[in-house]
Structure 1
Amino acid sequence: MKPIFYTIALLGLLVSCGGNDDPPPVPEGATLVFPDENSECTTGVSVNAALSQVTFQWQASENTDSYTLNVVNLDTNIPQTISTASTSASLSIEKGTPFSWSVNSMNSNSDQIATSDTWLFYNAGSQTTYAPFPAQLTHPISGSTVQMNGSGEVVLEWQGADVEDDITGFEVFFSNQNPPASIATVGEDTAEIAVSVSASTIYYWQVITTDAEGNTSDSGIFEFRVF
């Protein structure tokens, strides 16, 4: 009977060890709270003539033990980051300047990172009117390679936003040369345009946003390659 006893004992050991094969918990994306999306942030504490300290807030996300706050100056594209276990963090940022912000959620037992939505806001300054936020070029992503459609075209897509909600239009620049040339001006309700392309070619594009006060903002130049 001993061999049978040893076999049963071994099987029991294997079953008990198998309980440690559960996958590590995957963090979920945080929900942003403040500064509000497409808003003017007026709650910053003045640091000096150029900077104010803004406190960013978000809701706790599941399976998360740390966060990284990402804040980008949209005029310079210079990022600032700060890591924390809390659901808020403060940074000193430029006054009268547009920013984007997002939060990465992480778990020390997982190599996966969850990213929140990205919100835009203006950090209040001395001005009484604000330029539109720089258009967010969403497709094609800069540096990507895309395939033309059956008509030999690629659709350029972007998102526009403004604190005062008074965008009047977008001027689109597109070319296989850098800087690209102006090809069209479209109304505030248009956020895409189809352009003719050729295979194995690099293209450059850019969007200038204008509001009712005549203020403008520049998306910056993106590039993509066509198969």
Structure 2
Amino acid sequence: MRIRYFSFILILLLVACKKDRAPRSPEAALLVFPLENSECNTGISINETLSQVTFEWQPSANTQTYTLSVVNLNTNTPQTITTASTSASLSIQKGAPYSWTVTSSNNDSDITAASENWLFYNAGPQISYPPFPAQIVSPVSGSTVQANQGNQVVLQWIGADVEDDISGFEVYFSEENPPTSLLESTDATEMEVTTTVSSGTTYYWRVVTTDSAGSTSDSGVYDFKVL
């Protein structure tokens, strides 16, 4: 009986040890610099068109490596770099709007964790900047969606501006690509519109943001299909 009892205890201990050794998923990093919706003017000038910017973030738990992704919003061109540090430098275009995120990972887990997505303008020769291109929230581009009982879909986006002086948005929506039909104009506080759709149809839409100086930016074309 004693042998069976000790064998049972040993099995319990082994199971407990295996649970303790279960891989822990990484947590999302907190971004530090460049600041959200800001002008980054601390880069090192490389030439007339490029400057080197150092991106910084806080360490996250259970993380061995970080992948920094920086996207030029004018061209939708991404740059990525992977590092074990909590900072990394990239050469990016002066005067252009960018988004940046950091993805945390470790070798013991297949799960990764993404930080928030921050926008900034890399400092350039201009004194003022147009609004950031609107960030589309819903429907996700390329997705298939279900209309509500009234055969309607809600279009949602996020707008931001360095000077915080957005005056309004224009939403273009149609079955043609690119969409040229103005669906609705909204003020700076309203970042969603509702539109009537038909089942089995693919729609294209984009958002043009305007600030108080009359400067504009275009989100680019997004699409979705209705079930």
TM-score of Structure 1 vs Structure 2, range by shorter chain: over 0.9
Instruction: Give the secondary structure class of the aligned counterpart of 2:35.
Output: coil
Instruction: Give the secondary structure class of the aligned counterpart of 1:133.
Output: coil
CA distance in 1, matches of 2:2, 2:159: 72
Count of aligned pairs? 224
Question: Residue 172 of structure 1 corresponds to which residue in structure 2?
Answer: 171
Instruction: Give the secondary structure class of the aligned counterpart of 1:161.
Output: coil
Segments of 5+ residues of structure 2 without an aligned counterpart are none
Percent of counterpart pairs with the same letter? 57
Question: Residue 218 of structure 2 corresponds to which residue in structure 1?
Answer: 218
CA distance in 1, matches of 2:191, 2:12: 57
Question: Residue 53 of structure 1 corresponds to which residue in structure 2?
Answer: 52
2:72 paired with 1:73:
yes
1:106-158: CA deviation from partner (whole Å, max 9, x where unpaired): 12211100000000000000011111000001000101111111211000000
- Pairing of 1:16-165 with structure 2 (within 5 A): 16-18=13-15, 19-22=17-20, 23-165=22-164
Q: Greater shift after overlay, 87-96 or 141-150?
A: 141-150
2:10 paired with 1:10:
no
Question: Over the residues paired in the alignment, what is the CA RMSD in angstroms?
Answer: 1.2
Instruction: Give the secondary structure class of the aligned counterpart of 1:96.
Output: coil
1:35-69: CA deviation from partner (whole Å, max 9, x where unpaired): 00000000000011110000001111111111111
TM-score, scaled relative to structure 1: 0.95
Counterpart code for 1:133: F
CA distance in 2, matches of 1:15, 1:189: 59
Segments of 5+ residues of structure 1 without an aligned counterpart are none
Offset of 1:13 from its aligned partner? 3.4
Question: Residue 188 of structure 1 corresponds to which residue in structure 2?
Answer: 188
1:169-191: CA deviation from partner (whole Å, max 9, x where unpaired): 11101111111122222111110
Offset of 1:8 from its aligned partner? 3.4
TM-score, scaled relative to structure 2: 0.95
Counterpart code for 1:20: K
Offset of 1:11 from its aligned partner? 2.3
2:205 paired with 1:205:
yes
Offset of 1:16 from its aligned partner? 2.8
Instruction: Give the secondary structure class of the aligned counterpart of 1:62.
Output: coil
Q: Greater shift after overlay, 173-182 or 85-94?
A: 173-182
Counterpart code for 1:28: E
1:193-224: CA deviation from partner (whole Å, max 9, x where unpaired): 00000111111110011111111111000001
CA distance in 2, matches of 1:43, 1:31: 20
